[in-house]
Amino acid sequence: MQTAECLNHLAPYLFVQIDAKKAALVDQGIDVISLAVGDPDMPTPDHVVDAMAEAIRKPANHQYPDYAGSLEYREACAEYMKRRFNVTLDPRTEVLALIGSKEGIAHLHTAFVDPGDYVLAPAIGYPVYSGGATLQSANTYFMPMNKENGFLADFDDIPEDLLAKAKIMFLGYPNNPTGACATDEYFDKAIAFCLEHDLLLAHDNAYCDICYDGYVAPSILERPHAMECCIEFYSLSKSYNMTGWRIGFACGNAEAVQALGTVKNNLDSGQFTAIQEAAIAALTGPQDCVAEMCAIYQRRRDLVVDALRAIGVTCESPKATIYVWAKVPDGETSESFATKLLEEAHVVVTPGNGYGPEGEGYVRISLTTPDDRLLEAVERIKSLV
């Protein structure tokens, strides 16, 4: 049996070594606190669960779903985009249901990238942007992204020959893992660049609803000319604590949305209609739950940032996302600092180098741990001083 060559080129699993060390400590009966996973600890709002309970009893929902998503779901997505960003979309041609945004992001490569092509991905980012290219036997050009450029991926100096083979530019702000947020000027520059070089701009907006201190994250589709070259990915996972439900949507340029839909028509048969009905309740129902959740994350963010600063670790206080991106102390690497926190404080964080070439020298701390455990982790980190 021979597996496809492309599988040999996938980046090694992010957590291999840390996971092994964590398992060894847990085996010894040690209480280890994980601040590594970006999976909300709070429950899905009641009105969404209630909508699901009702929807699951409808026999019509037990049949194959609409491949592109029910029209009602796509209308709810369009309504959300209008209410949240004042972006007007045609639900029939400019919105597509996804089985989680990860699925859509990964399959976008199948729709746009041939073997030997390039995708442009931030040098620190969600691993699926480059992993999806690898699975198409395509290549990734990592756009420089660092503290000096405000973690806004730099596309100014991409070699011409490589640019000629590029098909998609991936961006994602508010950013996982750095917490950076984009400016309108940056989005405008990226749109102009993609139009000039005939690229699809794929913007990942998974964290747009998790904002702090009054910040309101935008959609790239608000910007002039965006509908000419952009597709944007939305996820209900973080906005409504629905990671396990697997529901999201893609929207934007009709040609891009249709191309992704064509790939999906050939691969899956759509998301369970009952889940789409629950998602309609989330997108169009009361939104207080989102504000309440953001207040909890904001308090946790402050706890973590204070604790890190108390032990001399440099980090920005993010305006959005559920992550704190922290510089490791001098003399440490991402891996060594994560190992030290694990072995000496029994706290798990994610080494930044797992997010791409420029993630070295950082660790990512997730705010999705219940308050009492987070406080305990923070005390343990502080006691390292």
Ligand X SMILES: Cc1ncc(COP(=O)(O)O)c(C=O)c1O
In the complex, the residues that contact ligand X under the rule CB under 6 A are 38, 100-102, 126, 172, 176, 204, 206, 235, 237, 243, 248
Residue 108 CB, nearest approach to ligand X (Å)? 12
Shortest Cβ 366–ligand X spacing (Å) = 10
Q: How far apart are CA 243 and CA 321, in angstroms?
A: 15
- The gap between the terminal CA atoms of the chain, to the nearest Å, is 53
State how beta strands 166-171 and 248-252 pair.
unpaired
Q: Which is nearer to ligand X, 39 or 72 (CB)?
A: 39
Instruction: List the one residue out of 243, 218, 222 whose CA is nearest residue 322.
Output: 243
Token pair listed for 164: 């000629």
Q: Which residue has the tokens 């009602």?
A: 72
Rounded to a whole number of angstroms, the minimum distance from the CB of residue 101 to ligand X is 3
Whole-number minimum distance, CB 29 to ligand X, in Å? 31
Nearest residue (CB) to ligand X, 100 versus 361: 100
Shortest reach from residue 172's CB to ligand X, in Å: 5
Q: Closest CB to ligand X among 237 and 350?
A: 237
Q: Which is nearer to ligand X, 321 or 346 (CB)?
A: 321
Closest to 204 in 3D by CA, of 274, 139, 119: 119
Least Cβ distance, residue 174 to ligand X (angstroms): 9
Contact criterion met (CB below 8 Å) for 248 and 231: no
Residues 6+ apart with CB under 8 A from 126: 105, 172, 176, 204, 206, 355
How many angstroms separate the Cα of 328 from the Cα of each of 102, 211, 292, 313, 336?
Answer: 29, 25, 31, 6, 9
Q: How far is the CB of 204 from ligand X (least distance, A)?
A: 5
Which CB atom, from 247 or from 378, has the smaller least distance to ligand X? 247
In the complex with ligand X, the residue whose CB is nearer, 132 or 361, is 132
Q: Within 10 Å of residue 60's Cβ, how many Cβ atoms?
A: 8
Which residue, 128 or 307, is less far from ligand X as judged by CB?
128
Q: Which of 232, 281, 250 is nearest to 68 (CA)?
A: 250
DSSP string, 122-182: ESSS-THHHHHHHHTT-EEEEE---GGGTT----TT--HHHHTTEEEEEE-SSPTTT----
